[in-house]
Structure 1
Amino acid sequence: MATPNYSYEKRQKELAKKRKKEDKLKRKGEGKPEDDVAEDGVQGSDAASDGQPGMPPAESAS
């Protein structure tokens, strides 16, 4: 029976990890327009959680 080639398996695992990381960075760099919409929704809910919807933030009121 042939012995396993651990260095080959390790190299393949490293290459897969590197490829996955590059793909993630590429997706992150592209930026989705849907993300911008979601962020706007989050900002609106933050203002509503202050208990004073429609009021400007404290920094701009002073």
Structure 2
Amino acid sequence: MAKPNYSFEKRQREIAKKKKQDEKLAKKQAAKDEANPPTEPAEHEKTDGGQ
């Protein structure tokens, strides 16, 4: 009977966990971007070259 490769199994679990975490972060970021669309600066915030 073959000996179990615990290192391989652990690495696979770690990879799956990281992938799931990255997907969750991307989903949160997309929801945040959708809720707060970028806006252009107001007229009074624009600079005229420091004069």
- TM-score band w.r.t. shorter chain: 0.5 to 0.7
What TM-score, normalized to structure 1? 0.51
| Percent of aligned pairs sharing the same letter | 56
Structure 2: gaps of 5 or more residues: 36-51
Name whichever structure is richer in helix by fraction: 1
With a CA cutoff of 8 Å and minimum separation of 6, indicate the structure with the bigger relative contact order: 1
Give structure 1 regions of 4+ aligned residues with deviation exceeding 2 angstroms.
none
What TM-score, normalized to structure 2? 0.61
Structure 1: gaps of 5 or more residues: 37-62
